[in-house]
Structure 1
Amino acid sequence: MTANLPLPHSDGTVKPYRLTGTPIARPATPPRFNRIAYAAAHVVSDPWRDTTPWGQPAIDWDATMAFRHHLWSLGFRIAEAMDTAQRGLGLDWPGAQELIRRSLAQARTVAGADLACGAGTDHLAPSDARSLDDVIKAYETQIGFVEKSGGRAIMMASRALAHIARSPDDYRRVYGHILRQTENKVVLHWLGDMFDPQLRGYWGSDVFEMALETVLSIIEDNRDKVEGIKISLLDNACEVALRNRLPEGVLCFTGDDFNYADLIEGDGARYSHALLGIFDAVAPSASKALASLAAGDVETFRAVIRPTVPLSRKIFEAPTQYYKAGVVFLAWLNGHQQHFTMPAGMQSARGILHYADIFRLADQANVLDRPDLAVERMKAFLVTQGI
C-alpha cells in the first residue's frame, strides 16, 4: 500500500500519511492458547431499520453473529452482552436477551465455540432501587435467564447496587445471596468508574485497598461458585495485588486495556487470563500473539501484541466509556460491517482527531486487515468531516 491519505492533526494542519503496516495472516484452524481469552464483542446496528436510534436501536443480527464467528475462528471465547456491546449505553435488557439467545444458538453450531454472558441489573434503573432486595431480584432475573438459556454468567457490576449500597456488608449480602443459588460457576466483574462513573465506590469504598478486602472476602466465602474475576481499573499494580491474593483455583481475568500485554505474559510466577474489549478490535494480532505464547515463543508474543497497546490506549482514552466508538470504527474499516453507525448514535462520541489517530496507530500495529478498503473508507469518512 503506497497511497497517501490526508489526515488531520491537533495543530490544525492536514498532512499526508503513507501506510506502512502488514496485515496479520489468519490461522487455518482456530489456535489453542495457554491463557483463557475472552473477547468482549460489539453489536452491529442496522441504520436502515432505525426509527429511534437513541431509544430502541435496531440491530443487524446477521452482521453481529458473523462477527462472533470471526472471533471463534481465531480461537477466542466470547464475553457476550457486556459493556462492549453497549449495555446501558444503547443496548437494553430486551436487546441483550435477544443477543444472548442468538449467540448461544450460534455457538452450538461451531465445534469448540464457547462464551459467557453478561448478567446484571440494567433493567432496574438505579433511582428505582429502593432496597437491596430489589437489586437481588434484578440479578436473579438476568442470571436466571442466562442459565435457563444454557449459558454461563458473568455477574456484571450493578449501577443499582452502587446507588443503594451503604457499606461493604451490603455487597457481601447481595453477592453471597446470588452466588449461593447459581447453577454454574460465575465470573465476577470489577469495572472501574473510568468505564462507568455510576460505579464509583463499588464494593463499598473509593479506596482500592478497602474495596480489595471486600471483594476477596466475597470470593473466599463463595469460592466454589466463582470461576474468576475480571478487573478493569487500568492500573496494573491493582490487578497484580488482586491476582496475588486470589484463592487457589480462582482465576484473574485482565480487563486492563492499557497494560494487558505485560499482565497476560505475567511475572514468571503468576499471570492473568483475559477478558478484553480491545480483543474485538485487534483479534488477528491477539490470536497470533497468544498462540505464540502457548508455543513458548515469548519474543513473537511481544513483537505482535506490544504494538497494539498504544492503539488500545488511544481507543480507551478518557472519557473511557466511549471506547466502543473506536472498536466499531475499526470493525468498519476492516470490512466487518457496511457502515459506521452505532446504537444510540455513539459514533458521535469521538471526534475526527481521535479517529485519525486510531487510523495511524492501527496501521502501525498491523491491525488494518484490508488496507485498500480501510483507505477507501477513511477517505469517505474524511469527506464527511470537511477534509
Structure 2
Amino acid sequence: MALTLQLPVLSPSKGPTDNRQLAAYTLRGNAPARPAKGVKFNRIAYSAAHVVADPRAAIDPWLQCAVDWDATIAYRQHLWSLGLGVAEAMDTAQRGMGLDWPTSLELIRRSLDAARDFSAGPSTSSGQALVASGCGTDHLEPEDVTTVDQVIAGYEEQMAAIEKLGGKLVVMASRALARVAKSPADYERVYDRILSQARQPVVLHWLGEMFDPALAGYWRGSDQVGAGGAADVDAAMDTALGIIAAHPDKVDGIKISLLDKDKEIAMRRRLPPGVRMYTGDDFNYAELIAGDGAGPEPTHGKSDALLGIFDAIAPAASAALGELAQGNVEKFHAILGPTVPLSRHIFAAPTRFYKTGVVFMAWLNGHQSHFTMVGGQQSTRSLPHLAQLFRLADEANLLEHPELAVRRMKTLLALHGIESGDTK
C-alpha cells in the first residue's frame, strides 16, 4: 500500500506567508544500502555523533542538560557495527550549544567504556571500535578569558581529563582563543604547548565561522583579520600548516569544516607525509573522500572523513566506503551521491543549526523514541524545512522503516496543526 501524506511546500524566499501550501507526497520507501559483511575500509571514517536528550528529566531545558545515556550509547554501538568510528563530544553532540563540559566528559567516559566492550565482542569491519574525543576550552567563559595563558590552562585541563580515560584527542577550535589571540604567534604558542604534551597523535579541528560565528578570524588573530574572503583563509591555512609542520609526529590529521572543497584540496596537498586530511565538508564529502590521486604522498590525493552527516546517513556511508575499498568507485558514488542534496539541506544556513536535522533523522529511523534535543534545539528549524528533509531522505533511500517514518512525520504535522487529511 502506498504511503502518502500532505507536506508543507518549502519556498526559497522563506517569507512568513510563503510556506502555507500543502502538497501530497507518496513515499518511495526504498531500502537503504547496507555494507557487505566483513568489508574493511581504505579510508578512516569517523561519524561525529549526536546525543539523545532525556525528555522526562525535570529540568529547565534551555539552561540544564539531561542525556538519555542508554539511547546515546546504543547509537554509538550502531555506528560501530557499521564499521564507522565515533568522533565524540564534538559540535554534532551540541558541544557549546547545550552540552556542557562536565556532561561531555561523562559522555566521553561512557563512550570509551562502551568501545572497549564492543571491541571485545564480535569483530567489526574496522577491527575495533574507534573513538576520538573532543578537547576544548568550553568550560571557560570567553568573556572572562583575557590571556593566552588562560587558554592554554583550559586546554590542558580537558586534555588531562580525557587522556586519563585513555582517549585520543580531537583538539577543537577555542572560542576563548579566538577572542584573545591578536596574531598567528598566539595560535602557534597555544598549539605548540598542547601538541608537545600530547600522549598520542591528535586530530586538529578547524571549524569555520559558518558553523560557529564566535570562531571568526581563527588562526589569524584580531590584528591580522582583513576584509574576509580567500586571502584571510589562505593566511589562516598558512598558520595551521606551520603548526603541523613543527609537530608532524604529534598530528594524526586535521579536520577542516569550511564547506569549500578547493581549499580542502589545496591544504591536503601541503600536509606533511603521513598527516591526514579528515574532510569536514558536508557539502562535497563524496568527491573529497573518493579523491583525485594527486600529490607525491598517498594522503595528498584523498581525504579521510570526520563528518556530522555520517550520523544521519550511516548505513549508506558504510556501504559506499565498502565499495570504494573494493575499487568500485562508480558504486561508491551511486550510493553516496544521492545523499549529498540531503546533507546540503541539513547543513543549510544558518549552518550551526544542522544538529536538528541529524536528530530528526535519528527519530524518523527509530533510533530514539522522541524528537527532543538538549537545549530545546529541536525548535531551530521550521516545519517546512523538516518536511523537505523528509522528502530528501526518502529520495536518497535513507528511511530505514518507511511506515514508522510516515507515522512520525504525521505526528509532527499534527503537533503543528496539520492533520493527515488536510489539503490547505
TM beyond 0.5? yes
Residue number in structure 1 paired with 2:323: 292
1:229-240 mapped onto 2 (5 Å cutoff): 229-240=254-265
| CA shift for structure 1 position 77 | 0.7
Per mean C-alpha deviation after superposition, the further-off stretch among 14-23 and 146-155 is 14-23
2:31 is equivalent to residue 6 of structure 1: no
Residue number in structure 2 paired with 1:268: 293
The structure 1 residue matched to 2:93, chosen from 85, 88, 92, is 85
Query: Aligned AA for 2:216?
Result: R
Residue number in structure 1 paired with 2:169: 153
- Quick one: distance in 2 between partners of 1:132 and 1:199? 16
- Quick one: distance in 1 between partners of 2:206 and 2:29? 35
Query: Aligned AA for 1:132?
Result: V
1:178-217 mapped onto 2 (5 Å cutoff): 178-204=194-220, 205=225, 206=228, 207-217=232-242
1:1-387 mapped onto 2 (5 Å cutoff): 2-9=2-9, 10=11, 11=18, 12-27=20-35, 29=37, 31-111=39-119, 112-204=128-220, 205=225, 206=228, 207-269=232-294, 270-387=301-418
Q: Secondary structure at the match of 1:274?
A: strand
- Quick one: distance in 2 between partners of 1:384 and 1:302? 37
Per mean C-alpha deviation after superposition, the further-off stretch among 357-366 and 13-22 is 13-22
Per mean C-alpha deviation after superposition, the further-off stretch among 25-34 and 222-231 is 25-34
Q: Secondary structure at the match of 1:227?
A: strand
Would you say the 8 A contact 2:6–2:24 is kept in 1? yes
| CA shift for structure 1 position 26 | 3.9
- Quick one: distance in 1 between partners of 2:180 and 2:342? 37
| CA shift for structure 1 position 140 | 0.3
Q: Secondary structure at the match of 2:179?
A: helix
Q: Secondary structure at the match of 1:57?
A: coil
Structure 2: stretches of 5+ with no match in the other structure: 12-17, 120-127, 295-300, 419-424
Deviations along 1:134-187, whole A, 9 cap, x unmatched? Answer: 000000011111111011000000000000000000000000011001111110
Q: Secondary structure at the match of 1:109?
A: helix
Query: Aligned AA for 1:5?
Result: L
Query: Aligned AA for 2:57?
Result: R
Q: Secondary structure at the match of 1:325?
A: helix
Query: Aligned AA for 1:148?
Result: K
| CA shift for structure 1 position 268 | 2.6
Q: Secondary structure at the match of 2:50?
A: coil
| CA shift for structure 1 position 31 | 3.4
- Quick one: distance in 2 between partners of 1:57 and 1:150? 25
Q: Secondary structure at the match of 2:118?
A: coil
- Quick one: distance in 2 between partners of 1:330 and 1:65? 17
Q: Taking structure 1 as reference, are residues 261 and 25 closer, same or farther at Cα in structure 2, changes over 3 Å only?
A: closer
- Quick one: distance in 2 between partners of 1:189 and 1:285? 25
Would you say the 8 A contact 1:46–1:60 is kept in 2? yes
Query: Aligned AA for 1:218?
Result: I
Would you say the 8 A contact 1:29–1:73 is kept in 2? no
Deviations along 1:331-359, whole A, 9 cap, x unmatched? Answer: 00000000000000000000001000100
Residue number in structure 1 paired with 2:125: none
| CA shift for structure 1 position 83 | 0.2
Q: Taking structure 1 as reference, are residues 215 and 64 closer, same or farther at Cα in structure 2, changes over 3 Å only?
A: same
Would you say the 8 A contact 1:187–1:229 is kept in 2? yes
- Quick one: distance in 2 between partners of 1:27 and 1:316? 25
Query: Aligned AA for 2:45?
Result: A
- Quick one: distance in 1 between partners of 2:37 and 2:158? 34
Deviations along 1:103-148, whole A, 9 cap, x unmatched? Answer: 0000001121111000000001111112101000000011111111
| CA shift for structure 1 position 25 | 4.8
Query: Aligned AA for 1:138?
Result: G
Per mean C-alpha deviation after superposition, the further-off stretch among 11-20 and 342-351 is 11-20
Q: Secondary structure at the match of 2:206?
A: strand
Query: Aligned AA for 1:34?
Result: N
Would you say the 8 A contact 1:118–1:155 is kept in 2? yes
Deviations along 1:302-334, whole A, 9 cap, x unmatched? Answer: 000000000000000000000000000000000
Query: Aligned AA for 1:80?
Result: E
Q: Percent identity?
A: 60
Q: Secondary structure at the match of 2:385?
A: helix
- Quick one: distance in 1 between partners of 2:185 and 2:39? 43
| CA shift for structure 1 position 27 | 4.2
Query: Aligned AA for 1:115?
Result: V
Structure 1: stretches of 5+ with no match in the other structure: none
- Quick one: distance in 2 between partners of 1:296 and 1:198? 41
Would you say the 8 A contact 1:118–1:156 is kept in 2? yes
Would you say the 8 A contact 2:282–2:347 is kept in 1? yes
Residue number in structure 1 paired with 2:124: none
- Quick one: distance in 2 between partners of 1:57 and 1:78? 21
Q: TM-score, normalised by structure 2?
A: 0.90
| CA shift for structure 1 position 3 | 1.4
RMSD, aligned α-carbons: 1.0
Would you say the 8 A contact 1:30–1:74 is kept in 2? no
